[in-house]
Amino acid sequence: MTMTNAVTFRGVSRHFGPVRAVDAVDMEIREGEFFAMLGPSGSGKTTSLRLIAGFEQPTAGHIEIFGETAEGVPPYRRNVNTVFQNYALFPHLNVRDNVAFGLRVKGVPKAERMRAADEALALVELAGLGDRRAGMLSGGQRQRVALARALVNKPRVLLLDEPLGALDLKLREQMQEELRKLQRALGITFVFVTHDQDEALSMSDRVAVFAEGRIRQIGTPEEIYRRPATRFVADFVGSSNVIPADFAGAGPADRWASLRPEDIRPDPAGRNATITSRAFLGRVVRLGLHLEGQDLTAILPAADTIPMPGESLSIGWDTARVHVMEPDA
């Protein structure tokens, strides 16, 4: 049985003159998955999203949406909708009219579009706020209206460009959970752009890590974290000790290995490190260590008795937790 992909990129590039915003990207986004595009600023995430939406055309390669060629199909016929970071609501219109606006442009009769707007508002838990002027809403409420405005079109793919970027941390975490729940309940494909690794790891079924217009790795959050493909991915997704594989006891000297700080532990039978720094973080303590010419970071449970800077600590790790990486392209 072959499963249809919601979105397929084959060798897709989008160059702007000399700038390779997106460069020979292959990517398959499965139907019904929560897919994050993660990467630093300028790595090509937004351009990839705009290519899916149809606001940009590839300069090379091929895009399919639900198995059909996307080139030449205008944005409004693609069955995808975008939630932008700046919500661009009409402040003078009420919430319901904001949500129904796209349907009005499409010529949907009034009674029907009002009903659809109220339905979408209920989905984002704003039922009852339909008559409020959009200019009077809080940041979190505006975010929900923007979401409702996309959902009212019943897209098969929802594209979200840093939709939580404008929210404070607490609201952001709450909306992360709600978005995830909403995606599960609706069963539609969400493609989510973020530069926040925690957000990508905690929300997504799979993550694509972008750098300089290329995808460095696609995988589940656990695969990306546990088995980063390259040094870039290991550094960008969580903090990691990037050390020679032979030093880690896991491979040849000419390869880099990733060892997560939480995988280093005190080990009386281990190697003798010097503590260079010590930060108490509540549940855990973060240690800077110097071991045989290498600087390491370790995260240890605060419950352990941990010596002070300048003192030594015998440490070890399970070599099964060491991941040997491919060279960065």
- Side by side, the strands of the sheet bearing 265-280 are 294-301, 284-291, 265-280, 312-316
Q: How is residue 275 written in tokens? A: 């503590």
19 binds ligand ATP (CB under 6 A): yes
Nearer to ligand ATP, 48 or 143 (CB): 48
The least distance separating ligand ATP from the CB of residue 160, rounded to whole angstroms, comes to 13
Cα(133)–Cα(151) distance, integer angstroms: 20
Q: Residue from 13, 36, 39, 298 that binds ligand ATP (CB under 6 A)? A: 39
Size of the site for ligand ATP (CB under 6 A): 12
At its nearest, how many Å lie between ligand ATP and the CB of residue 193? Answer: 6
Binding mask 240-279 for ligand ATP (x = CB under 6 A): ----------------------------------------
144 touching ligand ATP, by CB under 6 A = no
* Torsion angles phi and psi, residue 289, rounded to 5: -130, 150
The structure tokens listed for 203 are 């929300």
Is residue 43 close enough to count as binding ligand ATP by CB under 6 A?
yes
For residues 114 and 100, is the Cβ–Cβ distance under 8 A?
yes
Closest CA to 213 of 10, 12, 60, 31: 12
Q: Which listed residue (42, 102, 165, 316) binds ligand ATP by CB under 6 A? A: 42
Please give the helix or strand (H or E) that residue 160 lies within, else none: strand 157-161
**Contact indicator for 210, 38 with CB cutoff of 8 Å:** yes
239 φ/ψ angles, rounded to the nearest 5 degrees = -95, 150
Alpha carbons 97 and 199: distance in angstroms, whole number: 31
216 near ligand ATP (CB under 6 A)? no
- One residue of 29, 44, 97, 299 binding ligand ATP per CB under 6 A: 44
Give the contact letters, 162-201, x = binds to ligand ATP (CB under 6 A), - = no. Answer: ---------------------------------x------
C-alpha distances out from residue 265 to 260, 302, 306, 312, Å? 11, 12, 11, 13
Nearer to ligand ATP by C-beta: 25 or 224? 25
Q: Which residue lies nearer to ligand ATP by CB, 43 or 94?
A: 43
45 touches ligand ATP (CB under 6 A): yes
Per CB under 6 A, residues contacting ligand ATP are 16, 19, 21, 39, 41-47, 195
